[in-house]
């Protein structure tokens, strides 16, 4: 049915109840859509007249970035692995992992500062090739989030 009002209800992480956040009209085919920007996990449902949709869960990944101070350090040199998490998870810990024998092993658990940033220093052995990543554990606001893999090759 065309021109029927559809209301969108949302419950973001940490909220106790749903809120009416948007309305739209159906098109001539009875279809509708909503566009919303979200940075945390949320649940949604739509309502038109007496009809109510099922609840949809939406898990959102945090943006987790990792970068080395040098990708090709000298043997024995110290490399700083730093990065950020967005949205802010200030005060929480992330896991710095290194790939060892085909498995990801947590080697440090830095705490995110007030700007949701971290830094860890690693000493590189001669001719070592190390693969690192950062993992943010799932919580009520974001799904488990993983950075891209960073490769550091000591000369």
pTM (predicted TM-score): 0.81
The total number of residues written for the chain in this structure: 155
Cβ–Cβ under 8 Å, residues 119 and 108 = no
Listed in sequence order, the residues at least 6 apart from 133 whose beta carbon sits closer than 8 Å to its beta carbon are: 66, 96, 97, 99, 104, 146, 147, 148, 149, 150
**What pLDDT score was predicted for residue 1?**
65
**What pLDDT score was predicted for residue 20?**
97
pLDDT of 2 strictly over 80: no
As a whole number, the mean pLDDT across the chain is 95
**What pLDDT score was predicted for residue 88?**
95
**Model confidence pLDDT, tens digit, residues 15-29:** 999 999 999 999 999
The arithmetic mean of pLDDT across residues 96-116, rounded, is 97
Cα Rg of the chain (Å, integer): 22
Percent of the chain with pLDDT over 70: 99
Both tokens of 153, joined, read: 């090759």
The arithmetic mean of pLDDT across residues 72-90, rounded, is 95
């Amino acid at each position: 049915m065309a021109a029927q009002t559809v209301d969108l209800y949302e419950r973001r992480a940490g909220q106790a109840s749903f809120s009416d956040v948007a309305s739209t009209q159906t098109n001539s085919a009875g279809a509708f859509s909503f566009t919303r920007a979200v940075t945390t996990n949320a649940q949604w449902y739509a309502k038109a007249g007496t009809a109510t949709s099922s609840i949809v869960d939406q898990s959102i990944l945090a943006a987790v970035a990792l970068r080395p101070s040098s990708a090709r350090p000298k043997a024995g040199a110290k490399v700083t692995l730093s990065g950020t998490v967005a949205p802010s998870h200030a005060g929480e810990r992330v896991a710095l992992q290194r790939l060892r024998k085909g498995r990801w092993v947590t080697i440090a658990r830095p705490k995110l500062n007030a700007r949701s940033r971290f830094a860890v220093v690693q000493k590189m052995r001669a001719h070592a090739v190390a693969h690192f990543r950062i993992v943010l554990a799932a919580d009520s606001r974001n799904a488990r989030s993983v950075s891209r893999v960073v490769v550091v090759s000591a000369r």
